[in-house]
């Protein structure tokens, strides 16, 4: 009897056809894997997060500089006893530190080299991202000694102005005038530019 049942079942499957058996198997497999996938999602919900990703834009903003002394009030280090210095006469001459005049260019380069050896960017200014530009006028006697110094155009930050005065004062005495400079007094205009650079 059992043998008859198996034969009839076998005959029934054969009458269905192999393509129908394959389709049924694929459907059962698909349903089984779908159940597994849903079970996995329920067991590990953090792998299936549907939260939208957000993009943030970050701007670097300079820190506040309200707590530091940034005034540009003249201090004791600026001497302004002279009203005006004539541009040129037999006694004195006024030049730029970047002069192209052949009589003064080599001496001006010596002075620039000495000042650059002392000039620094104040650490507090760097920490607060302070930049500025200032102009200074200083006068030398023929022996290289400084007889006058003043800020003619401030940077807006006292710490930058003071650093330039300090650097020039620390460079004194300068070399005596060479033979090409025949005046007794040389007035030198210089500009100092404080700029922070980035590696970006």
Q: Does residue 159 sit in helix, strand or coil?
A: helix
First-to-final CA distance of the chain: 89
Do 96 and 188 form a contact (C-beta atoms < 8 A)?
Answer: yes
At residue 168, the pLDDT reads 95
CA distance 146 to 125: 27
Band the pLDDT of 29: cuts 50, 70, 90.
confident
Q: Which two tokens stand for residue 53?
A: 């990703």
Which range, of 13-22, 66-75, 100-109, averages the lowest pLDDT? Answer: 66-75
CA distance 42 to 196: 55
Do 168 and 151 form a contact (C-beta atoms < 8 A)?
Answer: no
At residue 92, the pLDDT reads 92
CA distances (Å), origin 54, targets 8, 46, 48, 51, 58: 64, 17, 17, 9, 13
- 118 or 63: which carries more pLDDT confidence? 118
CA distance 80 to 152: 10
- 136 or 18: which carries more pLDDT confidence? 136
DSSP secondary structure code for residue 54 in this structure = -
Name the residue with tokens 């006068």: 139
DSSP secondary structure code for residue 196 in this structure = -
At residue 90, the pLDDT reads 74
Axis crossing angle, helix 158-170 with helix 105-118, rounded to the nearest 10 = 120
At residue 88, the pLDDT reads 46
Q: DSSP letters of 70-90?
A: ------TT-----S---SB-S
Band the pLDDT of 51: cuts 50, 70, 90.
low
pLDDT digits (tens, 9 = 90+) for 147-195: 999 999 999 999 999 999 999 999 999 999 999 899 999 999 999 999 9
């Amino acid at each position: 009897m059992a043998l008859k049942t198996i034969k009839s079942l076998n005959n029934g499957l054969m009458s269905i056809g192999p393509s129908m058996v394959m389709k049924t198997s694929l459907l059962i497999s698909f349903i089984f894997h779908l159940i597994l996938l849903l079970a996995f999602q329920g067991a590990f919900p953090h792998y299936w997060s549907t939260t939208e990703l957000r993009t943030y834009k970050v701007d670097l903003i300079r820190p506040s500089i309200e707590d530091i002394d940034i005034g540009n009030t003249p201090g004791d280090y600026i001497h302004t006893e002279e009203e005006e210095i004539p541009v040129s006469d037999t006694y004195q001459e006024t030049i730029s530190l970047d002069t192209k005049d052949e009589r003064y260019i080599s001496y001006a380069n010596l002075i620039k080299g000495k000042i650059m050896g002392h000039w620094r960017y104040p650490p507090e200014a760097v920490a607060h991202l302070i930049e500025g530009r200032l102009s200074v006028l200083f006068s030398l006697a023929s022996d290289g000694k400084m007889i006058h110094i003043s800020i003619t155009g401030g940077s807006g930050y006292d710490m930058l102005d003071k650093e330039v005065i300090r650097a020039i004062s620390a460079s004194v005495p300068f070399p005596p005038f060479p033979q090409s400079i025949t005046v007794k007094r040389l007035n030198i205009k210089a500009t100092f530019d404080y700029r922070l650079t980035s590696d970006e």
